[in-house]
Structure 1
Amino acid sequence: MDSVERAETKVRDFLDDESLGLRIIVRGDLDLPVSWVHVTELLDPSDYVSGGEFILSAGIWNASEDRAGSFVAALARAGVSALGWGLLLGSESVPEGIVRACHEHALTLVEIPTRTPFIALGRWFFERSQRIREAGLRRDIERNERFVRSISSLPGGLRGILDALSETTGLPVRVVDASGRTLAGSPANGSAGPGTTRSFDLSAGDGSRVKLVIGLPDGEPLREDQLSAARQAMPLIEFVISYERELREAEKRLAGELVEAVLARRTLFAAGRLSAYGLEPEGEFIGSVALPERAEDLAAVLEVARRSLAPLGPGVVVATGKRDVTVFVQTAGRTPEEVGERLGAVCGVGSGCFVGVGERASGVEGLRRSLVQARQAAALAARRGHPKGSRGGYLVHGRAESYTLLLALGDEDVLASFRETLLGPLEEYDRRRGSDLTGTLAAFLASGGKWQETADRLHIHVNTLRHRLARCEELTGRSLDSMDSRVDLYVALKSREATGEVPG
């Protein structure tokens, strides 16, 4: 680092400049910083100095032996950095009493030649201080411009400014929330892993707090320039966090309004909002829904859904409702299974989540149909846990049997009453007699009403089957010759399976 760029001027800087012609007489601590250059001819100037000064004197106060000791002792008590003794005549030298006193107090003593007036030293210090301040200001401005540019340049946002801070300091940096979860981070290129950290509290803009965490190699503190860069970046980090949070909230509201408009068939409004998102209203869409088991997991599901779908590009809208997260994608050749695979990442969030995916459809009305299908599939997934046709934690609407989707839409109490009315007498009979009329009826209906096929499957004579099914008709009050009765009994049996009530 150039000497002019140092944050302070030290005693040795005066000596290093040969144009000043200074000669060291007593070598004290040459690395002491100099706060100011001060001329005095007082025997005790301590009331007029505050420490760190480079004192200039020519001994007009009478540098006799006894007074020399008092003068230097007063300077040492005041904490000055050095004493410069000005020669008035070319042939003279610094008085021996001053030299001995400076040795005694380990105070740097410098001889100033007659060709160097005191004002030249004051001007040199002032001009150097101005250059240091100007260099620091330029450095701060350039660094601030780099930080500001990083917000809008790729990767941009919080990650962008953390990348810039990491590059500036040469250290890994990250921002964590109150729970310690990393919101964004950037490793230092080519640096060893951090042994310790230093953290700074930041405002997240909504009353909550986050921390800027800087990784440090073992045993090394933050350098002054690294600390300065971190403090300069902090207000921008707070701004970006607050801005991105407000942006997400605004996006969430807009996305929610769009989903409501699609489902409510407000076609013109929905088409306009789709265009505002950069989507083609008449294009092809796939709708999907993620249904958390617990409402308190909704925010986490929303965040995971955003991250998992980000690789699909800008043609994705993610909205949150009171109970679920709704997503739709402008397909660009994508399949419901591809969307389901990505959104299925939310299934492990919290206590679990069920994902339903609709079929591909075109236009606003097609999008509505796909979203309705997705909600039906998610409801079925939630009811069944791992329904037939599900893969990787999601269920595609077109892969589920139609009756299971109808069951998913029904009220559980109504379905329970329906099952009890139709199947209760059979189940009670089986419990009392140790028979399996319910299983026989299920096998018959599953075969499509084929007598011999059912008898063969159950390993019974067809007359035995007829006898059992006649008893089923008697107990349920339903005729198996009636298609309506067969449908009712089939749905009741499937509803029974969905609840896990099938005897093992």
Structure 2
Amino acid sequence: MTVSDGESVTVAEVLALPVLARGLPKVVACHDRLDRPVRWVHITEWANPTAALDGGELVLTTGIGFPARLDDYAAEIAEVGAAAVVLELGRRYREVPHELVAGFRTRGVPLIVLRREVRFIDVTQELHALIVSSQVRTLRAAQRVHDTFTALSQRGAGAGEVVRAAVTMTGHAVVLENLTHQALVFATGERSLEDVLDRWEARSRATPSPADRTAVRGDEGWLVTRVEFRGRQWGRLVMLPTAEEPFRAEHVLVLERAAGAVTLARLTQETRWEDQAHRDALLDVLEHRQLSWQDTRVRIAALGVPAQGRLFVVVLIRPVDRAILLEKLRARFEGSALVGDLGERGVGVLLTFREPGGWRPLAEEIAGLAGAAVHVGAEVGELSDVARSAAEADQVAGAVPPHLPPAVYTIRDVGLPELLYSLRDDLRVQAYAERQLAALLSHDHTHGTDLLGTLRHYLASAGNKSTTARRSHLSRQALYQRLRQIEQILGGDLESGDLRAQLHVAVTALDAQRAGRSAGLSAGLSTAD
């Protein structure tokens, strides 16, 4: 497939003009080359007309001045790059010479004969008017393209806007990819996402980059232009063909101007497009933003992350320094996982793996990279269930206090302390802890005692006084005295299993609230620093 100058007049269009149609034109050589553009019209009877030609002309002649060797004439016409030759029969030739037909056919130049006389001056006037009109349209189209992409660049448009503008102006699907053949930004136009991105990496690798800036390449006939960044090739813009319309010169212009606008956008925007593409794809999965799960699977695969026949798990991390962790994760899991900053939810990772339980060594590796707790959702076998895995990871992340050591935590690790930590901001839980412990807390505050600490050890020891005394570093007599004092303040019997259960919940809830306040204070100080 080649690029046609869709705004120029072609040989076929010239033959359809009434002024030439009256001459009963017949194509006798290279009928398949009638899409060649006609730049101008030239009437000549010279034996050697090339001195007056620059290429792209439609040559009109009666053959009066043809040289003896007609093959030489065809060779010279082909060498100068004329669009086609129109020979009017009657003045010198009643039938077109076979040598002339063979000469033009061999060299790929259309030869047309007119079997009825026409006024060449009428042909030139009509055709020149048509060519000039076409050139004006071309200039106007070029100005429109220039104005569109200049305006986008001036207002700081991102790559997505630039690509969508290219699709709107041409009707062709356009994809921005990096050098590793990841489809980062795309707009499909009237085509389906699956049709455009299915097996993207394999198809892209089979499509070589053009030696020049822009060209049609590969078996599929993609129009490809290079995208540069600071003097080096960074990626490619690809325009996919349609069966209905060939690529035109305007499409080349649009793609090249889009590539320039993309380069400017990359210079002015802080977020790397690879990072944004992975984050967007991750949110597509978590928030069901694609029209179909097949589209989601294709989208993920186009970023180099395998999704077919895989199991999935969502991992959330809330590190102190997200930027450093994101950089580490992207370097480690390039092509095997989706990584993105999910805001308040933390750093998200969608792991894909083949064998059940295959997520655990990966999650443990993430914990080592993060130096922080790693919260893992349920292992699922379908993309449609990934949101459930994310919800479970969210639940785990909300339940695991930040002071716990770096490790992998799942829903199985959420016990009573973790549950109450996740509910620490619930007013009902706060009111319950206050109601159960207010008198004891007031006594400690007033008298400088630590009866709450003694109660905590007693409850943690399941009411075993020997264990409590050892953990509290108290004599048994001192412990008994403190326990009686706690009973008097709280107005209950600590030997009661029900009371101990109520107090255990209350103390655990109070500890969770204090841990939450401490974590919030640390985060605030970290932000201030």
TM-score by length of 1: 0.47
Higher-Rg structure is: 1
Higher relative contact order (CA 8 A, sep 6+): 2
